[in-house]
Amino acid sequence: MTLAGGRRIVCAEGEFEWVVGRRGGGDFRVVVQDALRRGQLLIVLEPVYRLWEQNESWGDYYLRSRIDSDLLRQFIAEGLRRGWRPEAKGVPPFRLGAPSATIEFDCGIALLDALWSVLDAVRSDAAWRERLARNTGEFEPIPPEFPRAVDPALPDRLAAAGRWVIHVRPRDYHGDASLFLAIRSLTWNRDVMLMEFDE
């Protein structure tokens, strides 16, 4: 039986079909099946957000997990290593991962979802990218109308933390400078989330 809406991935272990959904708010639920043998399912729980830097001087930073081909290949390899049998029929799914703990944050995961929506819209917007490139100050204010244009419900979801600004900050990984967008609440005076900023 095929996975409804499934996509294909080819790796050293074979050809697989996969789908991803959101489970209970805090986790992605990834389902993988051998595309030819249609045997045992692999079900993986992956946290939607990962705490990337904790208690840094400006706050705790969260990154949103990206379910891409590299991560899927890791899931498949780990599943096989741990006993997943993609050829076996009539057996229960093989599971990896556990439900993620509740994020200890002022407004919880709903606020992180709203912040990610704003950051994703900023990263994808040509005018914003040009604006950030021209910015000579430390922060770039987010006009109230911008979140509203992304989703009319966003301003209400962001209201608890007042005004927000964007900061492009470099990170150095073993000599590789990577740019990240950070979003900061001026009311709380701390950053909350980062997103890779591929120029």
With contact defined as beta carbons under 8 Å apart, do 119 and 183 qualify?
yes
pLDDT of residue 155: 86
Q: Is 53's pLDDT higher than 80?
A: no
Q: Is 56's pLDDT higher than 80?
A: no
Name residue, tokens 């980062």: 194
pLDDT in tens, 113-134: 888 888 888 888 888 888 887 7
pLDDT in tens, 69-103: 999 999 999 999 999 999 999 999 999 987 766 55
With contact defined as beta carbons under 8 Å apart, do 158 and 145 qualify?
no
Residue 152 and residue 155: Cα distance in Å, rounded?
Answer: 7
What lies within 8 Å, CB to CB, of 75 at 6+ separation is 30, 32, 42, 44, 96
